[in-house]
Amino acid sequence: MSTESQTEVSATELAALENGFMGHPKPLRPLFFTEMWERFSYYSIRPLLVLFMVATVGSGGFGFDEATASAIYGIFAGSLYLAAVPGGWLADNWLGQERALWWGSIIIALGHLCIALSAIFGMTLFFVGLIFIVLGSGLFKTCISVMVGALYPKGDSRRDGGFTLFYMGINIGALLAALIVGVFKEKGMWHVGFGVGGLGMLVSLLIYRFSAKKTLNHYARAKNIKPEWEHSNNHFSNVGRWVAGFIALLAVLVVLVATGTMPFAPEMVAEYMTYIIAAVVLLYFVVMFLSRRLDKTDKLRLLTCLILIIGSTLFWSSFEQQPTSFNLFADNYTDLNVLGFEIPSIWFQSLNPLFILLLAPIASIIWVKLGNRGLEPNSMTKFAMGMLLAAAGFALMIFASKSILTNEGGLASPLWLVGSLFLLTLGELALSPVGLSAMTKLAPKGMQGQMMGLFFASVALGNLVAAFFGGHVSADKIEGLPGLFTTMTAFLVATAILLLVLSKPINNMLKKSEQADQLSQ
């Protein structure tokens, strides 16, 4: 954010604005709750989707097989995060962060309404609702993260800690959602569970409109800074026409698929989406590296972002097993009787956000304290730590799946999933909020939304890969799980080692380049 002439604001008010939320800028609080309820809406449908689609028609589901349901979930989740790339571009170059977030919220809310009403109007409206959620999330996701990043000036050691706190909001929403919809799932009230998410999105929209927006504007005026979230670059013309054309084309495709005119094979689409997303991300970076408008320092920053994005993809391909293979493993192969009480299988999905809530404040304090002492690891080192922890979590799942095979007809102890999810959560804390922070810190000026979108594209790729593996969790494929989990463990360890090797030289090159730029100015 650019500074302007200082106006008269009391020292007390400035201090309250700078440290008004657990030692962080005051606008972080309403942004925290805006994100919390938006994530509540998403996580209320996330654990239901695969189980709903594989449930028989008689019990209210679609009766799809595991591979098809997992592929559809992967397309949905992958598209949701992929949409953050054009969403970030539209926010940077057309709408501005604030308007993009507002319209994204409204579109997401419409998506939840469609899914809830699909109980009356049929399957097509269900998938239309998923499309709305994808489109709205593409606008919403990058914008709110960029706004959080804009609260911290360059060099502020609180940045990673602030994103870790922000991450707590995501997980409070996820925890509440899993606990609530788990009850509706056990009663077969699928669409009531889906409808609960719509209410959460409405709350999110209201908090942003009547609290976050007001607090952000007050913060900008008091600090005499230009509120960059209100403005776009306006480098391109006729963007609105291109958006209208895309929406019209999408509507035609929906009609063609719904009427059976165009065949739709989810597994094939998910596979090709993986290749296309990877190619587009790599092509984007090639174009940026060849661009003359970026200097050497900007290109080194982009190289660091690319390496982190590749690492993020591999991490999320393991982490996002939760709504697919982990969910099906809990539902089919885990002993759900705990102390005489039969727990809903979806409740395992609440463990990750619960662990986040317990551990995120500790992680935030550790990063801030290390940063104040100059001992904080760089982003690549944190990513490597996250991957090693995730690898340990999957090592546990190797033993969990082997316990099923050695005890034919028996069920696995729930402690396997609890331990694995605990380690995956530790890995997530070392990687995901740090990744969000790194994208806002490393992105060249005017490209923050795009870099955030590319980071979310790595999550999209991870979801697609995870969905492909998740389709293998069925009664006739359980024998292959130990080998699958072993392969994923090996990939995570190998990538962590590579990041550790690259960490120091990349960091040194970046520092030298920035110092050279400062001397030349």
Q: 476 pLDDT exceeds 60?
A: no
| Residue 117 forms part of a structural domain | yes
Q: Which among 206, 165, 173 has a CA at the least distance from the CA of 47?
A: 173
Please state, rounded to an integer, the average pLDDT across all residues of the chain: 83
The stretches of 187-238 forming alpha helices (DSSP H) are 190-207, 213-223
Burial of 149 (0-12, 13-18, 19+ CB in 10 A): buried
Averaged pLDDT, 89-99: 84
> How crowded is residue 288: how many other Cβ atoms within 10 Å of its Cβ?
21
Averaged pLDDT, 287-296: 83
183-227 per-position pLDDT tens digit: 888 788 888 888 888 899 999 999 999 999 888 888 888 877 776
* 477 compared with 484, residue with greater pLDDT: 484
pLDDT of residue 515: 65
| Residue 6 forms part of a structural domain | no
* Residue whose token pair is 């391109």: 236
* Contact (CB, 8 A) for 232 and 92: yes
Percent of the chain with pLDDT over 70: 90
Q: 474 pLDDT exceeds 60?
A: no
- CATH number, domain with residue 473: 1.20.1250.20
Please report, for the chain, how many H helices and E strands are present, in that order: 18, 2
pLDDT of residue 470: 58
Q: Computed over its alpha carbons, how large is the radius of gyration of the chain?
A: 23
pLDDT of residue 475: 47
pLDDT of residue 408: 67
Q: Which among 321, 287, 306 has a CA at the least distance from the CA of 379?
A: 306
* Axis-axis angle for helices 123-150, 28-54 (nearest 10): 150
Report the C-alpha gap between 257 and 317 in whole angstroms: 28
Most confidently modeled of 161-170, 331-340, 421-430? 421-430
| Residue 498 forms part of a structural domain | yes
| Residue 3 forms part of a structural domain | no
Q: 1 pLDDT exceeds 60?
A: no
Q: 396 pLDDT exceeds 70?
A: yes
127-155 per-position pLDDT tens digit: 999 999 999 998 888 788 888 888 888 77
| Residue 1 forms part of a structural domain | no
Q: 46 pLDDT exceeds 80?
A: yes
What's the structural domain count of the chain? Answer: 1
What residues have CB less than 8 Å from 327, skipping those under 6 apart? Answer: 47, 50, 51, 345, 346, 348, 349, 470
Beta bridge partners of residue 337, listed in sequence order: 342
Q: 120 pLDDT exceeds 80?
A: yes
Q: 95 pLDDT exceeds 90?
A: no
Return phi, psi of residue 341, to 5°: -115, 130
* Residue whose token pair is 């319209």: 103
Buried b (16+ CB within 10 A) or exposed e, 71-88: bbbbbbbbbbbbbbbbbb
Return phi, psi of residue 334, to 5°: -115, 140
Burial of 389 (0-12, 13-18, 19+ CB in 10 A): buried
Pairing of strands 341-342, 337-338: antiparallel
Domain hosting 481: range is 11-230+237-520
342-378 per-position pLDDT tens digit: 888 888 888 888 998 888 778 778 877 887 887 878 8
* Contact (CB, 8 A) for 269 and 75: yes
pLDDT of residue 5: 41
> How crowded is residue 291: how many other Cβ atoms within 10 Å of its Cβ?
12
Averaged pLDDT, 391-405: 89
Specify the pTM. 0.74
Q: Which of the four pLDDT bands, split at 50, 70 and 90, describes residue 13?
A: confident
> How crowded is residue 11: how many other Cβ atoms within 10 Å of its Cβ?
7
Lowest mean pLDDT across 11-25, 352-366, 382-396, 458-472? 458-472
Report the C-alpha gap between 25 and 442 in whole angstroms: 21
> How crowded is residue 203: how many other Cβ atoms within 10 Å of its Cβ?
17
* Contact (CB, 8 A) for 192 and 52: no
Q: 29 pLDDT exceeds 90?
A: yes
Lowest mean pLDDT across 2-16, 78-92, 167-181, 322-336? 2-16
434-448 per-position pLDDT tens digit: 787 778 778 877 777
pLDDT of residue 171: 83
pLDDT of residue 68: 86
| Residue 72 forms part of a structural domain | yes
What residues have CB less than 8 Å from 466, skipping those under 6 apart? Answer: 74, 316, 317, 318, 319, 320, 321, 324, 325
Containing 282, the helix (H) or strand (E) segment is helix 266-290
Averaged pLDDT, 451-469: 78
Provide the token pair at 454: 């590319």
